[in-house]
């Protein structure tokens, strides 16, 4: 008997004529690890929420969902809460208490667990997850990676049989995301926990998955082992753009043999197929530095008078018309830089300038009128109206004319409440709203969060278009590949200090951990190839090694 069985599930939201999930059928056996992927807005989040009775949205539905042979609606509340776990995209939305150990105890308390059993489980789970030193901490003081790990531990302490995750790594830096996925793999292996995870960041999750489910416009178009799905995909399939770098490089370079899923497989079976006489592509010169658009000089900042310094003598310069990406771990101070430059927060020492003027020289609302606009990490804070159209009209009554070159189609969203949109759709709406302010300096905090590969390419098109018009873009991101492909310069922030700032090729070819998968695959074979396009171009230029077909 399948642990989870979905049969002909169709879901339609109120006042909508088109189903968001249409005739979806699949099943998961106990202990399977499955990945759900697809374009932004294809119905992944809705499908996941339909599998957890307490999180089901208000909708019209047909079809059936059964858990261990029991219809989902027939599960008693205790069994539903304990046996089906759910980890959300935004860590803060799932944390409800003021101490880490309280958070771990919360679910058990609601299940009426005996105190002795509860204490033992908290001790066990804290040791398993390596969070014993955090038990007395306030969750609000944790990094993004620690919060998401706490959410996972808080769910797993109830020993669920099925674990559902909705883009859990979206706000994590690459190292924290890797650690989180490694923990998931351990849970699957050690306890046979059945896992269904919806993700756009597929680099590290596909190699550890048993099954790959692909959605397109509300329908399930593929459901098989990852290699089998990839073998069937046409080379122009939109979903291919979000696959691991090893997969994309195999397609673009014309690899032979089985498609590799991971960096290790690509280094072992793909790269030896090609010669390495030509070691590197011609180096792209760094863009010339122009007048500074944003400057921090020896800036110091802390959120609490007696708290730790988040910015520690930071000096940073972004040139006018530049596309600058700021990378670094959770808690490094990246979002704080944007808050300081937007005037939301003030440094207690140092100097902050925007277009040559100190921030305090901007009077009234002059800083935010056609000058600086911030797209925050939590885009929900921008939404104040009942429909997406009202959100846009609030900024500019002639929004449709101003956004005529905007590459995203907003028409399906206009009549919807912003909170009814998917995470990626909210990101697109928020981007459109801030662009209507026509800033000279655009500050973006994790703008690719929740976006599929095609939407990221469209976002890059928008930002490069702004650069061409003289707009400066400062983007904080954990999306290393996006930065490598599109930024003019990248700055690496650590503990509130700028460690390095250079072209993407220079930064990522010199990094061992904060680098792209393409760089890890090609390192030792080619030099300074930090994108899939770079590595594929070198493979084609060098050609296949004679007599090396056996390598594949």
Q: How confident is the model at residue 509 (pLDDT cuts 50, 70, 90)?
A: very high
Residue 265 DSSP symbol? H
Q: How confident is the model at residue 347 (pLDDT cuts 50, 70, 90)?
A: very high
Length of the chain counted residue by residue: 552
- 38 neighbors 242 (Cβ within 8 angstroms): no
- Per-residue pLDDT tens over the stretch 195-233: 999 999 899 999 999 999 999 999 999 999 999 999 888
Whole-angstrom distance, CA of residue 335 vs CA of residue 37: 28
- pTM for the whole thing? 0.90
- Quote the pLDDT of residue 36: 97
Whole-angstrom distance, CA of residue 86 vs CA of residue 167: 11
Domains and CATH numbers, the chain: 4-238 (3.40.50.300), 249-283+518-551 (no CATH), 292-502 (3.40.50.300)
Whole-angstrom distance, CA of residue 505 vs CA of residue 250: 21
- 337 neighbors 501 (Cβ within 8 angstroms): no
- Quote the pLDDT of residue 547: 58
Mean pLDDT of the chain: 92
- Per-residue pLDDT tens over the stretch 474-487: 999 999 999 999 99
- Quote the pLDDT of residue 188: 95
Q: How confident is the model at residue 550 (pLDDT cuts 50, 70, 90)?
A: very low
- Quote the pLDDT of residue 1: 72
Q: How confident is the model at residue 41 (pLDDT cuts 50, 70, 90)?
A: confident
Average pLDDT over residues 347-360: 95
- Per-residue pLDDT tens over the stretch 76-114: 989 999 999 999 988 888 999 999 999 999 999 999 999
- Quote the pLDDT of residue 17: 83
Both tokens of 371, joined, read 């000058």
- Per-residue pLDDT tens over the stretch 398-409: 998 989 889 898
Q: How confident is the model at residue 457 (pLDDT cuts 50, 70, 90)?
A: very high
């Amino acid at each position: 008997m399948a642990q989870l069985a979905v049969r002909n599930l169709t879901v339609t939201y109120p006042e909508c004529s088109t189903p968001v999930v249409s005739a979806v059928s699949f099943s998961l056996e106990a202990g399977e690890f499955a990945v759900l992927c697809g374009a932004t807005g294809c119905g992944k989040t809705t499908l996941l929420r339909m599998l957890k009775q307490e999180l089901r949205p208000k909708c019209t539905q047909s079809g059936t969902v059964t858990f261990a042979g029991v219809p989902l609606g027939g599960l008693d509340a205790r069994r539903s809460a304990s046996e089906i776990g759910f980890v959300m995209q935004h860590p803060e939305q799932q944390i409800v208490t003021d101490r880490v150990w309280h958070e771990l105890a919360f679910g058990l308390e609601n299940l009426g667990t005996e105190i002795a059993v509860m204490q033992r489980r908290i001790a066990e789970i804290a040791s398993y997850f390596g969070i014993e030193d955090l038990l007395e901490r306030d969750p609000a003081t944790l990094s993004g990676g620690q919060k998401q790990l706490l959410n996972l531990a808080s769910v797993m302490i109830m020993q669920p049989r099925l674990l559902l995750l909705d883009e859990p790594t979206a706000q994590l830096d690459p190292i924290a995301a890797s650690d989180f996925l490694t923990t998931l793999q351990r849970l699957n292996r050690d306890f046979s926990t059945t896992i269904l995870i919806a993700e756009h960041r597929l680099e590290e999750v596909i190699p550890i998955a048993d099954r790959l489910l692909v959605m397109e416009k509300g329908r399930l178009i593929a459901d098989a082992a990852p290699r089998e799905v990839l073998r069937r995909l046409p080379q122009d399939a939109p979903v291919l753009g979000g696959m691991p770098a090893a997969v994309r490089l195999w397609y673009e370079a014309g690899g032979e043999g089985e498609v590799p899923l991971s960096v290790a497989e690509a280094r072992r079976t793909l790269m030896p197929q090609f010669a390495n006489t030509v070691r590197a592509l011609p180096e792209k010169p760094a863009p010339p530095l122009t007048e500074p658009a944003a400057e921090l000089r020896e800036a110091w900042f802390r959120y609490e008078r007696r708290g730790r310094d988040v910015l520690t003598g930071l000096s940073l310069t972004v040139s006018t018309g530049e596309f600058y990406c700021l990378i670094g771990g959770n808690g490094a101070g990246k979002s704080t830089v944007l808050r300081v430059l937007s005037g939301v927060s003030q440094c207690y020492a140092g100097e902050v300038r925007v277009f040559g003027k100190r921030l305090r020289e901007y009077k009234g609302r002059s800083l935010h009128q056609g000058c600086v606009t911030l797209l925050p990490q939590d885009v929900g804070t921008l939404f104040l109206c009942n429909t997406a159209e009202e959100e846009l009209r609030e900024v500019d009554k002639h929004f449709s004319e101003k956004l005529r070159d905007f590459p995203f189609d907003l028409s399906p969203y206009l009549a919807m409440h912003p909170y009814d949109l998917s995470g990626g759709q909210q990101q697109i709406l928020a981007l459109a709203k801030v662009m209507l302010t026509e800033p000279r300096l655009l500050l973006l905090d994790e703008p690719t969060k929740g976006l599929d590969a095609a939407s990221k390419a469209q976002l890059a098109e928008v930002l490069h278009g702004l650069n061409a018009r003289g707009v400066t873009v400062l983007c904080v991101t954990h999306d290393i590949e996006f930065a490598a492909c599109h930024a003019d310069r990248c700055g690496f922030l650590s503990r509130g200090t700028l460690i390095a700032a250079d072209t993407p090729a220079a930064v990522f070819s010199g990094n061992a951990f904060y680098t792209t998968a393409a760089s890890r695959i090609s390192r030792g074979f080619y030099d300074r190839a930090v994108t899939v396009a770079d590595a594929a171009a070198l493979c084609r230029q060098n050609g296949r090694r004679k007599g090396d077909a056996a390598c594949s």
